[in-house]
Amino acid sequence: MSSPSVLSQPALVLNSSWAAIHTVTVRHALRLLFNGAAKAVVPDSFEVHEFDTWATLAVAPDEPHIRTVRLRIKVPEIVLLTHFNGKPNPAAVFSRRNLFRRDENRCQYCGRRPGTPELSIDHVFPRSRGGRSTWENCVLACTDCNRKKRDRTPEEAGMKLLKRPIVPKWSPILDVPVGRVRQSWTRFVSDAYWNVRLEP
């Protein structure tokens, strides 16, 4: 199963303390291995390998791999940086999923929890009047409250927010697109990181 697309698939990067900090392409991960800047991690056993030993591991017939003139190399799904122990500057990702988390799946006008299908994102100051998609201007609203508020501010609609919308205190450090998370990453990446960015 060797193809150019394998090289563009994601690999998880851990700092030297084994904390997930980033994702790169498999191509980049292999470059880090080859240069000695990282080691490949076997997800099930947590064994680490430098490039030379990683390149000699057996590859199952149906397992994705990279083929060279002489070798069939396993695709590194997780790499551990050998020296870097820092973390990216943490910032809460403004995403649909995180907005539902911040507002606890609750309408911020009436307080009900009608279920995800009945909740939508409401712009406190309407988008049609220049309101932006930010933590401070977006809240969850149920269908009834959304219909009542329409294209008005809460004050104009005679409605009151349960609380002022703010940037949440928690701050996931890794933004992994939904559908790109590998099964092998689950021990290193919690559900809080599986976000889809919302457009401003």
pLDDT digits (tens, 9 = 90+) for 79-98: 999 998 776 655 677 889 88
Q: CA 143, 144, 145: angle at the middle one, nearest 5?
A: 95
Q: Closest by alpha carbon to 21, among 173, 165, 156?
A: 173
Q: How far apart are CA 93 and CA 118, in angstroms?
A: 23
List domains and CATH numbers for the chain: 4-88+174-193 (no CATH), 96-157 (1.10.30.50)
pLDDT digits (tens, 9 = 90+) for 145-161: 999 999 999 999 999 99
Say if residues 23 and 12 touch (Cβ distance below 8 Å): yes
Structure tokens at 144: 């009834």
User: Whose structure tokens read 């508020």?
Assistant: 149
Name the band, by pLDDT with cuts 50, 70 and 90, for residue 194.
very low
Structure tokens at 73: 């190399």
pLDDT digits (tens, 9 = 90+) for 12-67: 999 998 888 888 899 999 999 999 999 999 988 999 999 999 999 988 888 888 88
| 94-122 as b/e: b if 16+ CB within 10 A | bbebbbebbbeebbbbeeeeeeeeebeeb
Residue 103's DSSP bridge partners are none
pTM greater than 0.85 (yes/no)? no
- Compute the radius of gyration of the chain from its Cα atoms: 22
